[in-house]
Amino acid sequence: MLFNSTTFILGFLPIGLAGLFVCGRLEDGRWALAWLVGASLVFYGWWNPVHVPLLCGSIVVNHWLGRRIASYPGTIARRWLAVGVVLNLSLLGWFKYAGFLFGIDPPALPLAISFFTFQQIMYLADSNGATSNGATGNGTASNGIARSGRNAGHDGFLPYAAFVSFFPHLIAGPIVRPREILPQLRAAGLARPDPDAIAAGLEIFLLGLAKKLVLADMFGRFADTGFDAAAHGAALTLFEAWYALLAYALQIYFDFSGYSDMAIGLARMMNVRFPVNFASPYQARSIAEFWRRWHITLGQFLRDYVYIPLGGNRRLPALLVTMLLCGLWHGAAWRFVIWGGLHGLFLLVHRLWRRLGITLPSPLCWLLTLLAVVLAWVPFRADGLDAAWRMLRGLSGANGVALPRMIVDALPWLGHVAVPVPLLPYLGDARTLSFPEVTACLGLGWFIVLAMPHVHELQPRMRGVTLTAGFAFTIQALFFAPHVAPFLYFQF
């Protein structure tokens, strides 16, 4: 079930909330948790019920392993932890990477397996207290959420099942930590309706929905035109290539951060606070800062459970290996590995540069960071390495520079750098006015991401203004747009 579908918004969500609050009136909160688990499994199975038993089995086995780890000391616990990690990674590897690694026909990928596998590895690691400072808890988690300080493995089955299957984060994150969420799921107020929390959550949900339906899907259509053309062997000219790439950079940001906001809003309605997952990443002034702002919960997971165990700051290759794994986590394809490798390389260069002690002007830092991040989206989005290469050729201007004749006529000096053509076939809808249309839309999109605070930084008044600007367009897209585009991160 998609968060941006009318089935979810008008059916599942109100029924799910009402059921939770009704169950919350029953004794000791178990019914509310049971309802939450049941509703989450319905949500998960709506897409493909075949994989519900896999999710349930994974939850049961990991909870059992967690109890083993928590109940044994030292070495034995670590062995159980190793068993758990191997089991989880084997499951993920079989479904996600068997085709890539062994060249066999890949099995159907269970929805969200990357997310619920990581969640449960965190649970097992936390049960052992085996991770570094960031994961073991030092009082306050990221985003100011209080930690309970107790081992996750002590939890009962129902809170654990609710934590893993909790539908707001089940499909595409945020990757929440057991110690952040389990105490909230056990809290007495979980299933108590709080009008202010519901309103606040609904507001964040609607803003996320607007990001997805109004902005991401619009930029997605612009991006698809260019990238699809490259996939079919077309030679994109400079503006066609850059506009497609800039549109994709906006699409993936609005799509994924919109999803995260919707998840945060949904959880908030149920009195659960999720960490912020995106914090204006394109405003970052270094690649390291970018990763502290982009998919924050994944970055933290990789830092605490991969990078630091691999040696962290003491070993430079740890950075590269972590980012390669990050790329591979996004999908079993070389293009994702290249994307991860590029980011690893950028991070290495950044670290070495910092050692030199040379400081660049802040706007230049921002520009270089943005350029690196945006260019790295080329292999990530392109349909294969050939298409990526064709896109890069277009971006470099190797296929020439063309502009609509109407633009060149209006600004004749452009005739010195661009060939006038009736229209650009791989730009927007390839109509006469597509160039000014895409230009204006990109301008608006980049203004929002570069000049405005993100949703969670907005003051209540500005949130209201933003919602006023976007709500009607959201209604338009939700009920009257002929096509619904799935979230990009569903495939991961």
Active site residues: 330
CB of residue 217 to other proteins, shortest distance in Å? 9
Closest separation between CB of residue 263 and other proteins, Å? 19
126 in contact with other proteins (CB under 8 A): no
Told to check if 479 binds other proteins by CB under 8 A, we report: yes
CB of 200 to other proteins, least distance (A): 6
**Long-range CB contacts (within 8 A, 24+) of 181-184:** 181/272, 181/274, 182/148, 182/152, 182/155, 183/146, 183/147, 183/148, 184/271, 184/272, 184/273
Which of 433, 450, 457, 486 is the binder for other proteins (CB under 8 A)? Answer: 433
Candidate residues 101, 188, 444, 450; the one interacting with other proteins per rule CB under 8 A:
444
Q: Which of 27, 28, 105, 196 binds other proteins (CB under 8 A)?
A: 196
Nearer to other proteins, 41 or 249 (CB): 249
Taking the complex as a whole, the smallest distance from the CB of residue 203 to other proteins amounts, in Å, to: 5
Amino acid at position 324, single letter: L
Cα separation, 402 vs 300, in Å, equals 43
The answer to whether the CB of 158 falls within 8 A of the CB of 37 is: yes
Would you give the distance in Å from CA 196 to the centre of its chain? 27
Which region, judged by CB under 8 A, interacts with other proteins, from 13-21, 55-63, 155-163, 429-437?
429-437
If you write DSSP's letter for every residue of 220-270 in order, what string do you get? HHHHHHHHHHHHTT----HHHHHHHHHHHHHHHHHHHHHHHHHHHHHHHHT
Candidates 58-66, 93-101, 236-244, 427-435: pick the segment binding other proteins (CB under 8 A). 427-435
CB of 483 to other proteins, least distance (A): 9
Phi–psi pair at 404, nearest 5 degrees = -60, 140
Return the residue of 46, 72, 473, 490 that touches other proteins, per CB under 8 A: 473
Contact, 119 vs 84, CB < 8 A? no
Contact window for other proteins (CB under 8 A) among 181-189, 262-270, 299-307, 431-439 = 431-439
Distance (Å, whole) CA 399 – CA 194: 58
When binding is defined by CB under 8 A, the residue of 155, 180, 203, 255 that contacts other proteins is: 203
Distances in Å between the alpha carbon of 9 and those of 5, 14, 15, 266?
6, 7, 10, 11
Torsion sign over Cα 68, 69, 75, 78: positive
Decide: helix, strand or coil at residue 364: helix
State the Cα–Cα distance between residues 484 and 2, nearest whole angstrom: 10
* Interface stretch with other proteins, choices 75-83, 303-311, 374-382, 474-482 (CB under 8 A): 474-482
Contact positions with other proteins (CB under 8 A) in 382-411? 405-406, 409
As measured in angstroms, the least distance from the Cβ of 267 to other proteins is: 16
Told to check if 475 binds other proteins by CB under 8 A, we report yes
Question: Quick one: angle between helices 74-92 and 113-128, nearest 10?
Answer: 180
> Which spans of this chain sit near other proteins (rule: CB under 8 A)?
195-196, 198-200, 202-203, 206, 214-215, 218, 405-406, 409, 422, 431-433, 436-437, 440-441, 444, 460, 464-465, 467-473, 475-477, 479-482
